[in-house]
Amino acid sequence: MSESGVPIKIRDLTYSYTGADARALNGIDLEVKKGEYIAILGANGAGKTTLCLHLNGILPVVLGGRMGGDVEILGKAPYDQHVYETALRVGMVLQDPEAQLFSSDVMSEVAFAAENRGVPREEMIRQIDWALEVVRLSEYKLGSPPNLSGGQKQRLVIASNLVIRPDIMVLDEPTSQLDPIGTSEVFRTLRELNKDFGMTIVVATHATDEIVEYAERIVVLEKGNLIYCDTPNRVFFHAPRLRDAFVHVPEVALLDNQLRGVAKDKASVYGPDGVANVRVSEASQAIARAIDAGVVKPNKAFKKGLGRSVSDRPADNNNAQPVVEVDHLTFRYNPRDPLALEDINFSVRKGEVVGIIGQNGAGKTTIMKCLVGILKGYEGTIKIHGQDSAKMGSFDIAKQVGLILQNPDNQLFQLSSEEEIAFGLKNLGLPEDEIARRIDEVLQLTAMEEYRKIYPFNLSLGDRRKLAVASIYAMHPSILIFDEPTTGQDYRGRYQLCDLAIRLNKRGATIIMISHDMSLIARYTQRTIVMGKAKILLEAPTREAFGKTDILASTFLSPPPIVTLAQSLASKGVPADVLTVEELLQALTGEEIQNLTQVWDTMGAG
């Protein structure tokens, strides 16, 4: 076949990193046609990044390793030429935009690839203007990369690759660090590149809810093996198998799978066998058909709390004094900056699980940093267990409030997990036997006993996050704050961490969860605070908050797909205030399944 017909051909590709015994890729066969838009899914460590890096020759040319099989990119083997030759036709975008931007201004950043090619100056300027226009950053042409938002930075990286008009664009988890706006901006840009310019797009991602709207084909990897390669509808038909591979199945597809199982011989009402409904629009039509045909009978009095949902669980003592009280909190980073927080007022009671949602820059993390004393000089008061936190030392605050930051690596620096946990306890001045007891306690709680002596940075991201939680929780703070616990996490990692949070809550900890993962907030919080532009826009029980779609939309948020699906079927008698797949399933069929997202056998019920 000519080079232009099938630009990517991979035959029996195997690969092992230098010094590693296990194979990262195991006999991968894949062909990607010209102009196709494919997504690569898989748990962390499944081989997504490894596969992506083979497409532009970084592996094995730059990073070494042992490779077998054949890779052909646009008719040539990337390992038989220099990376700069492959890079002429294949663009690469990585996960962290900060690590890929190194120029002081936007134009220089975009120009870099063209300069390396020796493109004449006048032509280079035309190409830069074109690239910035495609990614909709023309108005920032004279700006500086550090001043851009996360989504804008990632689009700038795309433009930096686009300037030399590659045939193929490869993106490795480009949206994992972005908020919903940034994510949709990036995926929309890729769609335009694909549709308007015929560019072949290969994107590795965990954002399955979004990617099903764009990808023509899904490739699923598990431990280096390719297990599925088909359209999204066909791939997600195998929801149970994908869940076993720790691939995040869109909740709509999960529901579809369960409904077909319940319907048995009437499953055809939902569509052909082997083809799942993965988008809200498809599922809505299918369920409407099923309701009309009498296959399902919606019940507004559905059982709440299924799916590990804590939304309706009352706090241990509704009349308890608040453990956190924020009064008229106002803050700006510099005198000339706009307000980062404007007259924030809220409180959290003992034993509650509260979610704070909002786009990047809304003020979520700023509130928490004020609360734990990292940021000072704010107006208003913050009280922790009735004490003014401004008068407390950082040490005293650390004993009462534990903040698990988005990047756990900033909190780890000892040589073993055990020493890491002991670090904070020694700072508290606890006796040795108590330190040993608490280490045992939290290692068991987080199912990390086998990692006791392991160097923290040899652990996966998910396990490093759990270690950070263990290290903080060992200090027995009564309040735990999780800042974006699912960033960069695969399906298993995100649910393990959140289940851990609920387990700690059952032991008495008050939990505050900051996230823009709507499904997570729906499942794991009792109350939700919605922030936008430095203010609190809404504070309500989670179930009620997700019904206020206009307020959510004003801050560019939308309820989880399962909630949107239920709301779209309200006219058919489907309750619009469900929060989880399990609840909607029960409302439609009466079937009770406690938890479809079980990922951690050792967690049990509590």
- For residues 428-487, which are near another protein according to CB under 8 A? 428, 457, 471-472, 475
506 scored as a contact of another protein (CB under 8 A): no
- Interface with another protein (CB under 8 A), residue from 67, 107, 447, 599: 107
Q: Which is nearer to another protein, 52 or 569 (CB)?
A: 52
Please report which helix (H) or strand (E) contains residue 536, including its range: strand 535-541
> Looking at beta carbons only, is 16 or 86 nearer to another protein?
86
Backbone torsions φ then ψ of 482, nearest 5 degrees: -110, 115
Nearer to another protein by C-beta: 19 or 606?
A: 19
For 111, 141, 156, 455, 514, the CA distances from 150, given in Å and listed in that order, are: 20, 16, 10, 31, 17
User: Is the bond preceding residue 477 a cis peptide, omega within 30 degrees?
Assistant: no
Task: Out of 1, 18, 19, 122, point to the residue binding another protein (CB under 8 A).
Answer: 122
d(CA 517, CA 398): 27
Stretch that binds another protein, among 110-118, 207-215, 236-244, 572-580 (CB under 8 A): 110-118
Joined together, the tokens standing for residue 258 give: 């369960």
| Burial label, 488 (beta-carbon count in 10 A; 0-12, 13-18, 19+) | buried
Sheet of 168-172, strand order? 90-93, 168-172, 200-204, 37-41, 217-222, 225-230
| DSSP conformation letters of 343-391 | EEEEEEETT-EEEEE--TTSSHHHHHHHHTTSS---EEEEEETTEEGGG
**C-beta of 347 vs 406, nearer to another protein:** 406
Contact segment (CB under 8 A) with another protein among 92-100, 270-278, 300-308, 509-517 equals 92-100
Structure tokens at 420: 């890491």
- The single residue among 87, 459, 470, 563 that binds another protein, judged by CB under 8 A, is 87
Our CB check for another protein shows the closer of 98 and 434 to be 98
Provide, rounded to whole angstroms, the least separation between the CB of residue 416 and another protein. Answer: 13
What's the min distance (Å) between Cβ of 386 and another protein?
21
Residue with tokens 């046609």: 33
Query: Shortest Cβ distance from residue 108 to another protein (Å)?
Result: 4
Q: In angstroms, what is the minimal distance from the CB of 462 to another protein?
A: 17
Contact predicate 501/306, CB 8 Å: no
Q: Residue 54 Cβ, how far from another protein at the closest point, in Å?
A: 12
H/E stretch holding 67 reads strand 66-73
Q: By CB under 8 A, what part of segment 130-149 binds another protein? A: 142, 144
Interaction between residue 104 and another protein (CB under 8 A): yes
Whole-number minimum distance, CB 593 to another protein, in Å?
Answer: 38
Q: Report the nearest approach of another protein to the CB of residue 56 (Å).
A: 6
Q: Which of 13, 40, 73, 114 binds another protein (CB under 8 A)?
A: 114
Using CB under 8 A, pick the residue from 28, 74, 111, 134 that binds another protein.
111
State the nearest-atom distance from the C-beta of 46 to another protein, in Å: 19
Applying CB under 8 A, which part among 100-108, 257-265, 301-309, 587-595 lies near another protein? 100-108
Alpha-carbon gap, residue 9 to 76, rounded angstroms: 10
**In the complex, what is the shortest distance from the CB of residue 67 to another protein, in angstroms, rounded to a whole number?**
17
* Least Cβ distance, residue 330 to another protein (angstroms): 21
Distance CA(413)–CA(63), nearest Å, equals 26
Chain positions 42 to 61 lying near another protein, rule: CB under 8 A, are 53, 56, 58
The residue whose two tokens read 């083997």 is 77
Q: CA-to-CA distance for 80 and 70, rounded, in angstroms?
A: 11
Give the Cα separation of 322 and 307 in Å (integer): 28
Among 5, 29, 64, 102, indicate the residue that binds another protein (CB under 8 A).
102
Task: Please tell me the distance from the alpha carbon of residue 357 to that of residue 368, in angstroms, as a whole number.
Answer: 13
* Angle at the Cα of 427 from the Cα atoms of 422 and 430, rounded to 5 degrees: 70
Subset of 241-270 contacting another protein (CB under 8 A): none
Binding another protein by CB under 8 A: which of 38, 51, 124, 218? Answer: 124
- At its nearest, how many Å lie between another protein and the CB of residue 71? 16
Residues 387-406 that bind another protein (CB under 8 A): 393-395, 398-399, 402-403, 405
- What token pair was written down for 372? 């734990």
**Segment 403 to 432, residues that bind another protein, using CB under 8 A:** 403, 405, 407, 409-413, 423-424, 427-428
Give a three-class secondary structure readout of 296-319. CCCCCCCCCCCCCCCCCCCCCCCC
Residue 371 CB, nearest approach to another protein (Å): 11
Least distance to another protein, CB of residue 190, Å: 17
Least distance CB 478 / another protein (angstroms): 15
347-386 binders of another protein (CB under 8 A): 369, 372-374
**What is the distance between the alpha carbons of residues 453 and 468, in angstroms, rounded to a whole number?**
15
Distance CA 93, CA 186 (A): 11
| Residue selected from 29, 70, 115, 434 as contacting another protein according to rule CB under 8 A | 115
CA atoms of 591 and 565, how far apart (whole Å): 18
Which of 82, 300, 437, 507 forms a contact with another protein (CB under 8 A)?
82
CA 289 to chain centre: 33
Q: Could you say whether residue 117 binds another protein (CB under 8 A)?
A: yes
Name the residue nearer to another protein (CB basis): 458 or 598: 458
Nearest distance, CB of residue 166 and another protein, angstroms: 10
Q: Is 225 exposed, middle or buried (0-12, 13-18, 19+ CB in 10 A)?
A: middle
Applying CB under 8 A, which of residues 128, 207, 212, 498 lies at the interface with another protein? 128
Coil, strand or helix at 481: strand
Interface with another protein (CB under 8 A), residue from 12, 80, 98, 432: 98
Site for another protein in 159-218 (CB under 8 A): 160-161, 164
Phi first, then psi: give them for residue 366, nearest 5 degrees.
-60, -40
Select from 86-94, 180-188, 288-296, 383-391 the region that touches another protein (CB under 8 A).
86-94
Least spacing, CB of residue 375 vs another protein, in Å = 9
- Reading the block at residue 3, the tokens are 């080079």
Q: What character string, x for contact with another protein (CB under 8 A) and - otherwise, covers 300-319?
A: --------------------
Please give, one letter per residue, the 3-state secondary structure of 340-353.
Answer: CEEEEEEEEECCCE
Size of the site for another protein (CB under 8 A): 72
